[in-house]
Structure 1
């Protein structure tokens, strides 16, 4: 608590912190302001931009397609997106590689930055966003390396739309958020006036402005949905209870596949001389004015969630210290 208060006093952190042991929340507190220009205090129930922590929703949705037999980890992009323009990408990139950031998919710069606001205004659908870079070849031979990026998750989201016959948002609401009981999580416009939204700011041309000027308007398969700390804990609980995925598939997804990634989850510990008790799965994220970290430690049953409307890396420092302080014997 004192560490987070110190970061808050230094202007580096505002947000909500939740720690759970098993299914019991043992610590929950809000720090700082919901809106730095109004100094409205944050509440523990407030909703935040989840940044790349939202990639876990996309991963679960794709794994659900695998569980249903519509897809496999080794399915290639072109088997689903049959008219994908770059044939090397279509024929060589697999679902497994997209989930683990080892496809060479690259990023999509047009989604971020004030200088790309006109580009974002022209992108009305997920299909539009994928089409923007669907003509480019992989940055490296698929499977030969690993490089974190966002474009691969947009491709996964578009594959989900084709496989399910639903638009991405509808599928996530119906098959991920609702079964997990996540009533406070969803796809909300950055400039939505709802009173419980934590507002983030960024410096543009020497002025502090809402980060809506530098972000996609609402959540995408690469992240940016809006949710509360309690809802993210419900997500962790639903995964552990088998409400979203078969147990064996979920266990596979949260084991390290290569480097830091499972199948769409950060998976830290295996093969790295880390004690089993410190293995964790989850996902963090950061973007302009936003920092999020969701961690679950299976061996101890601990969950640590930090959602912040301040830039990284403060939220990661908070979550790391909290685990060290609260870890069970």
Structure 2
């Protein structure tokens, strides 16, 4: 296990201890709660999980774009003895869904699509029950009724070896689906709905979904390490974290090198490395520093104008708890926005999204009124209760709630 710490000069500057600090700098430093500083309660909590071999990954908490707590633990690739670093590249799982939502909102800002339009206005080949009833808004807010393919054993155990092969299989699957309930009447988490949104991005923009996100989100935000990488790139580069999937015998294996194996938590047999490339439904790749850059670009209106930024981050529909997820922490309310989850934690607005695969858990949060951003990227399976406790402790540390 390794722990990357800021240099002494950086740490002194961040903690406001420089002897010639101005009054303004000291005032800014006073806004940093002890709980989130190096050696604080949040740092100690993660360190204990590492000591218990329950966490491997990167943690970055920043204030006004500057790192306050920056840590990396465990191995990105155990076979090659490559440690995780602060800038290690991780598969985000569903934590990349907000990029899909943002692409849709950008196209709406450009006047190229409408949120109230039905799916059939943009894509061919869907049954009338879907094409004529499901709106773009329904897809964005998980109120479309199209389900979650990651919970289907047959789909999750299929290995794809090219983009064309994977896209053909995905489109065939999506076009066979019909809403499980009238769209708009309730919330049911739907990765399939976000896969459809990725297809809409491609059709409306004239680019592939991955190229559109690269050109209109990652590059403008300065997210130089973020991309929808294909599996051979993931396997070949030392920059990537490998997913270490928990097995029923208590061991962990490298999912990227063992496509015939699956994780023992969640859907039996699931292994996200079997997909050749991520989709609108998830598994874009990013780093903790790039996610901080994303937050800055979003809030400085480099990605959307102010009006559409507000539309993107504002809550629209109350989400139903995911099956098997622990109860939400006290003082927290949430609504689905157009990609992120829009929450209020003890009177502070937060947008966030998490993700989980066999051998990985991720979460990023942007505290809209406080200038804080956090990224927690892990290449171990985390127990849902342990992950919820990390997020709750982060929220409390940043907002100063005891």
TM-score, normalised by the number of residues in structure 2: 0.75
Which position in structure 2 is the counterpart of 1:275?
346
Structure 1 window deviating more from structure 2 (307-316 vs 243-252): it is 307-316
Which position in structure 1 is the counterpart of 2:35?
none
Q: 1:55 aligns with which of 72, 97, 100?
A: 97
- Is 1:222 the equivalent of 2:222? no
- Is 1:285 the equivalent of 2:344? no
Q: How far has the Cα of 1:73 moved from its partner?
A: 1.0
Q: Distance in 1 between matches of 2:206 and 2:67?
A: 38
Q: Distance in 1 between matches of 2:152 and 2:170?
A: 9
3-state secondary structure, aligned to 2:68: strand
- Is 1:140 the equivalent of 2:181? yes
**Which has more radius of gyration?**
2
Which position in structure 1 is the counterpart of 2:235?
192
Q: How far has the Cα of 1:40 moved from its partner?
A: 3.4
Which position in structure 2 is the counterpart of 1:97?
138
Q: How far has the Cα of 1:97 moved from its partner?
A: 0.7
- Is 1:19 the equivalent of 2:58? no
Alignment of 1:60-99 (within 5 A): 60-81=102-123, 83-99=124-140
Q: How far has the Cα of 1:94 moved from its partner?
A: 0.6
Which position in structure 1 is the counterpart of 2:314?
255
- Is 1:201 the equivalent of 2:224? no
Q: Is the 8 A contact 2:354 2:364 kept in 1?
A: yes
Q: Distance in 1 between matches of 2:163 and 2:109?
A: 35
Q: Distance in 1 between matches of 2:308 and 2:226?
A: 24
Q: How far has the Cα of 1:285 moved from its partner?
A: 0.7
3-state secondary structure, aligned to 1:199: coil
Q: How far has the Cα of 1:23 moved from its partner?
A: 2.5
Q: Is the 8 A contact 2:246 2:380 kept in 1?
A: no
Q: Distance in 1 between matches of 2:375 and 2:279?
A: 21
Q: Is the 8 A contact 1:54 1:224 kept in 2?
A: yes
TM-score, normalised by the number of residues in structure 1: 0.90
Q: Distance in 2 between matches of 1:300 and 1:13?
A: 27
3-state secondary structure, aligned to 1:178: helix
Q: Is the 8 A contact 2:141 2:338 kept in 1?
A: yes
Structure 1 window deviating more from structure 2 (283-292 vs 181-190): it is 181-190
Q: 1:246 aligns with which of 292, 295, 305?
A: 305
Which position in structure 1 is the counterpart of 2:209?
168
3-state secondary structure, aligned to 1:54: helix
3-state secondary structure, aligned to 2:212: helix
Q: Distance in 1 between matches of 2:215 and 2:128?
A: 33
3-state secondary structure, aligned to 1:217: coil
3-state secondary structure, aligned to 1:5: helix
Q: Distance in 1 between matches of 2:162 and 2:151?
A: 10
Q: Is the 8 A contact 1:126 1:158 kept in 2?
A: no
1:34-72: CA deviations, max 9, x gaps? 234555321111111111111111111111110010111
- Structure 1 stretches of at least 4 aligned residues deviating more than 6 Å after TM superposition: 110-115, 119-123
1:183-231: CA deviations, max 9, x gaps? 1111223442211111112246857432232112322111111111000
Q: CA RMSD in A?
A: 2.4
Q: 2:255 aligns with which of 207, 211, 220?
A: 211
Alignment of 1:310-329 (within 5 A): 310-312=380-382, 313=384, 314-327=386-399
Q: Distance in 1 between matches of 2:300 and 2:201?
A: 24
1:116-170: CA deviations, max 9, x gaps? 2257879625354122131221011000110112100110011111101111111
Distance 1:146 1:80, change over 3 A: same
Unaligned runs of 5+ in 1: none
User: How many residues were matched structurally?
Assistant: 323
